[in-house]
Amino acid sequence: MNFQAVSIPSVIERYNQTLINVSSDPEKCIQIYDASAGYLIGDLALTQGYAPYRNLNSSPSELDYQLLAKAGLLVASGAKSGELVLTTGFPYTTYELYKQQAVDFFTPKDVFIEFNSDTYSTNIHKRIQLTIRHFEVMPEILGCIMAIRKGLKQQGNFFVVSLGYGTCETGLSMDTGLITRTCMSVTGLRYAVNNLHAELSKSYNLGMKNEHMVNQSFQSGKIVLDRKRKDLVEIRRNHLANYYDEVISPTLKKAFIDADFEKADTLYLVGGGARYPDLVDCFKAEFDGIAEIVVPDAAENMASWGYYLRSAQWCGPGLSGQAVGLDIGNAYTVITKAKLKAEETSYRTEKQPFILKV
């Protein structure tokens, strides 16, 4: 592959203290400064912070979105000044509302990022300047479709369901284009996570664990409460089944009518939710005999991959290294970029793993 994906948790926390000897891994030690205030981003917020947060489906005018965007650009650039070609997106329901705000934030001015370049030993602050040579914003579902058509080389008609943390998106992609009637946005996996949070709160003191922290436990399938390890696999299975029955299945019945299944017989599951086998099994049970359920490799990165492929279309000969796809999700921010040689970037080439134990 000539591209790579890097994933960081979409959480921030204000933190102005000096950080020394915390991590030498660049993607796990992001501290960015805005108006003289320091903010921990991603893994560093989860490990060093007290209550890391993100506003769900926040707009580009809000601080948390802007900090996550800068963190993504920092990773994409290898912490070096230069030019980028950037594509990002929003759920179908907020696309029209937020797209101009995104344009206003990313263009035409240069983006300046001040950051802690070494949280391991020196705590040195650096500043880089990034010029967004071309910027585009598209609906998230179109990014996923582009990854399937251009990346996976899928021909013909197919359904797509993007299982995100904040929203679940649906769509039917035809060779002639997207059928907008089938595009719906409903609440995402946070529905199941918040129900788990509510159930645990009845029997345990969750302290300062907010929904983002509970989501980490939801993914791993275990949690420590009252100094005891509690297995969440069976509870998670039940909440995922309830989420499917109460939210997803009714939405699919509205989005996809019988006539649509005469045109397509393949349904792609993408997004972080596609990594839960229990949730995938719910789709297989409902669509048995009518549609094949396909979960592509790295399903959680499909939107970012599609954005990257769109950016690459705008790059001229020899400039593919400038292409970036940025998916600022509610659970994870995924940055997809051209794969560079080890000596060309200070950032690792592997993506962060999606933790899932069953």
Q: What is the pLDDT of residues 12-29, one digit of tens each?
A: 999 988 777 776 677 888
What pLDDT is recorded for position 240?
A: 98
| CATH 2.40.160 fits domain 3-140+301-344 | no
Please report the pLDDT score of residue 21 as a whole number. Answer: 72
| Sign of the dihedral through C-alpha 269, 273, 277, 280 | negative
Beta bridge partners of 139: 90
Residue in the block written with tokens 């946070």: 190
pLDDT at 242 (0 to 100): 98
Average pLDDT over residues 193-213: 90
At 73, the pLDDT band (50, 70, 90 cuts) reads very high
SS3 91: coil
Sequence-ordered list of residues with C-beta below 8 angstroms from that of 33, at least 6 positions apart, any chain:
39, 114, 115, 116, 125
Instruction: Please report the sign of the dihedral spanned by the C-alpha atoms of residue 319, residue 313, residue 9, residue 109.
Output: positive
Beta pairing partners, 84: 132
Q: Which amino acid is at 15?
A: Y
Residue 177 makes CB contacts below 8 A (sequence gap 6+) with: none
Identify the band that residue 356 occupies on the pLDDT scale cut at 50, 70 and 90. very low
Mean pLDDT for all residues in the chain: 90
* Confidence check: pLDDT of 351 > 60: no
Q: Is the pTM of this model over 0.75?
A: yes
* Lowest mean per-residue pLDDT among 13-22, 211-220, 296-305: 13-22
Cβ-based neighbours of 202, under 8 Å, separated by 6 or more: none
d(CA 309, CA 303): 10
Q: How far apart are CA 98 and CA 42, in angstroms?
A: 23
Exposed (0-12), middle (13-18) or buried (19+): which is 273, by Cβ within 10 Å? buried
Give me Rg for the CA atoms of the chain.
20
Expressed in angstroms, the distance from the first to the final Cα of the chain is: 29
CATH class of 153-295: alpha beta
pLDDT digits (tens, 9 = 90+) for 284-298: 999 999 999 999 999
Predicted pLDDT at 322: 93
Residue 63 confidence (pLDDT) above 80? yes
Q: Per the structure block, which two tokens stand in for 131? A: 């010029």
State the pLDDT confidence band at 344, using cuts at 50, 70 and 90: very low
Query: 12 - beta bridge partners?
Result: 41, 53
Give which of 343, 350, 316, 334 is closest to 133, Cα–Cα.
316
Same-fold call for 3-140+301-344 versus 153-295: yes
Q: What 8-state DSSP symbol labels residue 342?
A: G
Say yes or no to pLDDT of 342 above 70: no
Confidence (pLDDT) at 100: 96
Q: What sign for the dihedral angle of Cα 48, 113, 88, 250?
A: positive
DSSP string, 50-67: SS-B--TT--TTSHHHHH
Residue 211's alpha-carbon distances to 189, 190, 201, 208, in angstroms, are 11, 8, 12, 10
* pLDDT band, very low/low/confident/very high, at 1 (cuts 50, 70, 90): low
The pLDDT, as a whole number, for residue 357 is 30
Checking if the pLDDT of 347 tops 90, the result is no
Domain boundaries, the chain: 3-140+301-344, 153-295
What pLDDT shows up at residue 348? 32
Distances (CA, A) of 353 to 8, 9, 48, 99: 10, 11, 20, 30
Of residues 129 and 355, more confidence is placed in 129
What is d(CA 9, CA 97) in angstroms, rounded to the nearest whole number? 24
SS3 at position 341: coil
Q: How confident is the model at residue 340 (pLDDT cuts 50, 70, 90)?
A: low
Write down the pLDDT at residue 109: 76
- Per-residue model confidence as pLDDT tens digits over 316-335: 777 888 999 999 999 999 99
Least confident of 30-44, 137-151, 239-253, 276-290: 30-44
Is residue 345 over pLDDT 50? Answer: no
Please tell me what DSSP assigns to residue 340.
-
